[in-house]
Amino acid sequence: MAEEPKATPSTTVAEEAQEAPPATAAEAKAPPQLELFNSMTKTKEPFQPLVEGKVAMYVCGVTPYDFSHIGHARAYVAFDVLYRYLKFLGYEVEYVRNFTDIDDKIIKRANERGETVTSLSSRFINEFLLDMTELQCLPPTREPRVTDHIEHIIELITKIMENGKAYAMEGDVYFSVDSFPEYLSLSGRKLDQNQAGARVAFDTRKRNPADFALWKAAKEGEPFWDSPWGRGRPGWHIECSAMSAHYLGHVFDIHGGGKDLIFPHHENELAQSRAAYPESEVKCWMHNGFVNKDDKKMAKSDNNFFTIRDIIALYHPMALRFFLMRTHYRSDVNHSDKALEIASDRVYYIYQTLYDCEEVLAIYREEGISVPVPAEEQKMIEDHHTNFLDDMSDDLKTTDVLDGFMNLLKAINSNLTDLKKLQKKLEQQSKKKQQQKKQQQSQKQPADHIEALIALEAELKDKLSILGLMPPSSLAEVLKQLKEKALTRAGLTEEELQELIEQRNVARKNKQFEVSDGIRRNLATKGIALMDEPTGTVWRPCEPES
């Protein structure tokens, strides 16, 4: 039976969401109205898609010039949860997430490494996709690259200029913020708050310091494309306006990204889209919080970040996903080893409980037990299903959802323990031929526990699958991987740990309890918990003791 992790306060905080999830009695309840927080209106609103049964969603992607950091993981896990839940609700979702594969940073890094922009960006796109697979983020419907949409970008810039909202100077094209009175309606900023040159140095040729580039004239040695304004390449913001319109139309349901994109990126997107086509509209703007380190936003530009690869070298990817989901998507996450240890401990407990359940049920699944689910567990399942729907439909309250799993896990472990005790008791009674039928009738029988376990397991796996938290490999394999990560963090090999366990066994045999207790305490500080069982001493990962 899995050992329950220590209670800890919440932080400030399955390959695919199943088309037809495992049926449970609880699923007769219809989901409540989905409400999402709209960054434009600064309030939660009922979500009503433009087309019944369909959702069009665009999420800004990465600039692939290096390995992605956990700030990226934060964003794409958050929107993967939304994507999965929308699919669970029965929507057909068109999910577009782009790659900015031409950018100043990519050009600079490619020149430093002596390779082409295309080679560098393609390599890190592939690395990013591997990271997303590790985190069990479902592939979007479309993953367009900027360089494949230059024609659409030029067409959009041309339309903006025809409408008198942009101007060309020496091969560059700038958007005129003075021509667009709605500018800053998303961020709520004032023009005098703007920091000119968010990504590039201030250009004194601009009519207004807040004007931003739609097209950049080619510099020597840089990639370029022909345009009506001369050879050049797109500015940063225009790409998403062009690609979202191309794939989703000028009006679509959801546009997402990190809250650092509200200004200038999304503000500029909104302005240039409406400048070209006044009917352009995003029904719901959604933004996730940062990942902070020491209360400062984690970012490559500040050299204050951990890559996804850095984290999953020490922690299982499902522990990282769980850690990110422990905080509501709109709140900032504060990265710490302790928080990751807690997440890893919780994930291990979940999977060990399910593994223990599977092991027991494997004996009984084919026996055709037909008793009803006991009333206590049936009510627990129905309440859990209701609470899950209520929490997820209330702007994706994953923090509460993950906490809600604890009751199911405790119930599974309780039934496993009671079943084991009951079976042992019945075996003893059978041997003595002293069956106490009256007493048995007032208690749960083995079949009751088995049916309860089957129902509890189905509910737990169903909801974990919706959240992308069911491991891609077998439970036995993922438990093995979690233990390997724990050994890595502890700086031990399996052989070294077994040697310490043997030293402790010898000390206990010789009644050297101070020595044996010292070995156990030392391992506990490294995240290794020893448990003495009739068959010998076993170990499991744990939250390191201080």
- Is 62 among the domain residues? yes
Choosing from 339, 356, 383, the residue where a domain stops is 339
- Is 27 among the domain residues? no
Q: Please name the residues in contact with 142: beta carbons below 8 A apart, sequence gap of 6 or more.
A: 94, 95, 96, 97, 247
**Rounded CA separation 462/416 (Å):** 20
Choosing from 299, 324, 339, the residue where a domain stops is 339
- Edge to edge, what strands does the sheet with 232-234 contain? 166-169, 172-175, 212-217, 232-234
pLDDT (tens digit per residue) in 320-372: 999 999 999 999 999 999 999 999 999 999 999 999 999 999 988 766 667 89
CATH code (residue 291): 3.40.50.620
Match 């050299």 to its residue by tokens. 303
| Beta bridge partners of residue 291, listed in sequence order | 333
Confidence of residue 98 (pLDDT cuts 50, 70, 90): very high
CB neighbourhood size of 423 (10 A): 13
pTM: 0.91
Percent of the chain with pLDDT over 90: 81
With a cut of 60, say whether residue 198 has pLDDT above it: no
- As given in the structure block, the two tokens for residue 340 are 């990751």
Q: Within a 13 Å sphere around the CA of 211, how many CA atoms are in the beta-carbon half?
A: 22
- Is 404 among the domain residues? no
pLDDT (tens digit per residue) in 225-235: 999 999 999 99
pLDDT (tens digit per residue) in 124-164: 999 999 999 999 999 999 999 999 999 999 999 999 999 99
In terms of Cα–Cα distance, which of 179, 220, 217 is closest to 200?
A: 217
Domain count, the chain: 2
- Is 40 among the domain residues? no
> pLDDT averaged over the chain?
91
Confidence of residue 296 (pLDDT cuts 50, 70, 90): confident
In the three-class reduction of DSSP (H, G, I as helix; E, B as strand; rest coil), residue 18 is classed as coil
**Rounded CA separation 281/429 (Å):** 73
- Is 269 among the domain residues? yes
- What pLDDT does 3 receive? 65
* Better pLDDT: 505 or 422: 505
- Is 28 among the domain residues? no
- What pLDDT does 14 receive? 37
In the three-class reduction of DSSP (H, G, I as helix; E, B as strand; rest coil), residue 58 is classed as strand
Q: Could you tell me if 311 and 320 are in contact, meaning their C-beta atoms sit under 8 angstroms apart?
A: yes
Domain of residue 277: give its range: 47-167+177-191+233-339
- Is 162 among the domain residues? yes
Q: Could you tell me if 60 and 264 are in contact, meaning their C-beta atoms sit under 8 angstroms apart?
A: no
- Angle subtended by helix axes 475-490 and 337-364, to nearest 10: 150
Choosing from 311, 339, 367, the residue where a domain stops is 339
Confidence of residue 433 (pLDDT cuts 50, 70, 90): low
CA distances from residue 84 to 19, 259, 287, 338, 507 in whole angstroms, order as listed: 10, 21, 17, 28, 52
pLDDT (tens digit per residue) in 2-25: 666 654 433 332 333 333 344 444
Q: Please name the residues in contact with 163: beta carbons below 8 A apart, sequence gap of 6 or more.
A: 275, 276
- Is 293 among the domain residues? yes
Burial class of residue 290 (count of CB atoms within 10 Å of its CB; 0-12, 13-18, 19+): buried
Burial class of residue 59 (count of CB atoms within 10 Å of its CB; 0-12, 13-18, 19+): buried
